[in-house]
Amino acid sequence: MRGILLLAVLWLAGCQHVAAPPVVGEIRDLRSGERLTAQQLLTQLSRPSRLIIGEQHDNADHHALQLWLLQNLEEKRPQGSLLLEMLTPDQQSRVDDVRHAATLPADLPAALAWQDGWDWNLYGPIVRFALTQPGPLLAANLDNIETRAFYRDPPVLSGERSSAKSVKEKLLEQIGDSHCGLLPSSQMPAMLAVQQQRDRRMASRLLAAPAPALLLAGAYHARKDVGVPLHVLDLGAPEAPTVLMLAEQGSQITAAMADYVWLTPATPKPDYCAQMRKQFGKE
């Protein structure tokens, strides 16, 4: 009996050292509809061998939660590898050199050839943490040469799930919306091909990465109904990765899209479409 009590005390002590998440929000298990605590979510996410966390790229809350999740999952079980949509294959040797150096360089973004399109103020803390961990930090995206090649000559995509008509229709709608309806229809097939080749690359990298493997990617790449999880299944994996979607309050995230959702406060956004229409003289 004393042994059981001691184990219970030790378990409680292990739970108590987990700091509260940096952002207040609502967490739900989308499969059951159950509301979860952050501690319960950590327990759930520590189990799968492959995990994807979907983000809104410009949301600072999402990046703060990603770092919190990484730090606390590492406490629960060693992380096998971390994969980033934000890294390309031509950066991998730089990442490896930095990871094996005695100290991190003073100008880390320059050492990694970090791309300006990804706000270093948001991603820097995650990258710095990952570079100090035993598991590798891995590129999951296409490089620019590959992207241009797929745009010029879109390949035929294999796999019945990812090539389904309904999947392509949803992605084409998202591509059109994200470009504010300003893309010529002639460019849409090429844009779709690049999007799906990015998903296919992330899926293959996730399958090859040391487990437990975690991929950080944009929401549409992460989605179970249109993104990387479909490609993982089409590549022959017996089960899809677990998906946690980070989304703002008011977002409609369903069980078809993710396994869990963490809803964060909505943040004001500039009117990107108004800016783009003005830039292209459409106003």
DSSP string computed for 153-213: SPPPPP-TTTT-HHHHHHHHHHHHHHTTT-S-GGGHHHHHHHHHHHHHHHHHHHHHSPSSE
Token pair 């830039």 is found at 279
Give the C-alpha separation, 46 to 69, whole Å: 10
Q: How confident is the model at residue 54 (pLDDT cuts 50, 70, 90)?
A: very high
pLDDT tens digits for range 5-40:
444 433 444 444 689 999 989 999 999 999 999 999
Which distant-in-sequence residues (6+ apart) come within 8 Å of 26 by Cβ?
35, 249, 262, 263
**pLDDT for residue 64 is more than 70:** yes
pLDDT band at 273 (very low <50, low <70, confident <90, very high): confident
Separation between Cα atoms, residue 55 and residue 47, nearest integer Å: 21
190's tokens? 């090429």
Between CA 66 and CA 73 the distance in angstroms is 10
> What are the structural domains, with CATH classification, of the chain?
20-279 (3.40.50.11550)
Buried b (16+ CB within 10 A) or exposed e, 14-50: eeeeeeebebebebbbbeeeeebebeebbebbbebeb
Between 19 and 277, the higher pLDDT residue: 19
